Amino acid sequence: MLTEYAAGMKKQFTATGYVVNEDRTRMLMIFHRGLQRWLPPGGHVDPDEFPNDTVLREVKEETGLTAHHAGEHLLDLGVNDTTETQLPTPFAMAAQLIPESHKDVEHIHMDLMYFLVADEGTSLTVLETEVDDARWFSQAEVLDGLLTPDSVRSFAQAHLKEV
């Protein structure tokens, strides 16, 4: 199990946006240049950011789209003042083993996964330094052999409506 293997390893927080269109029939993904596969947009949480802001920034940077958080809090804590506020809640969190590269040692991404909505009619603009392409996919396209992780297929199966 990864959690046992990862004890003592360097960890970094990331935020990923599982972006769907308004009618929840299509999902936005980017083709990641370095990993050579289709992934939801996302990236590292900067030291001066909350993860829920990171995910919106990363979606905008990588695709040109302005997304918004889709869900409500599972539990409303009733706090929103200058000393404590409730942040949008990720729908899931995963630990992902990142192999050693010329950039960094082997480490773990602690990925906060957010359910987002964006307008499919807005034109996509890819961040060419990291992303080769950005496209909207139907549930069938995600499930039928698209080069993407199992977690993305699971999301599509559970949250996208068949067309």
Average pLDDT over residues 126-134: 88
Average pLDDT over residues 133-158: 94
- End-to-end Cα, the chain, rounded Å: 37
Three-class DSSP category at 71: coil
Question: How far is residue 145's CA from residue 8's CA, in Å, rounded to a whole number?
Answer: 35
Domain at 2-159, CATH homologous superfamily: Nucleoside Triphosphate Pyrophosphohydrolase (3.90.79.10)
Please state whether the predicted TM-score (pTM) of the whole model is above 0.85: yes
Instruction: List the domain boundaries for the chain.
Output: 2-159
Burial state string for 129-149 with b = 16 or more CB within 10 A and e = fewer than 16: ebbeebebbbbebbbeeeebe
Question: How far is residue 99's CA from residue 9's CA, in Å, rounded to a whole number?
Answer: 12
Sorted by sequence, the CB contacts under 8 Å of residue 124 that are 6+ apart come out as: 63, 64, 65, 134, 135
> Is the dihedral angle over the CA atoms 8, 130, 68, 138 positive or is it negative?
negative
**Over the stretch 44-97, which tens digit does the pLDDT of each residue have?**
999 999 999 999 999 999 999 999 999 766 788 889 899 999 999 999 999 999
Q: Would you state the pLDDT for residue 73? A: 65
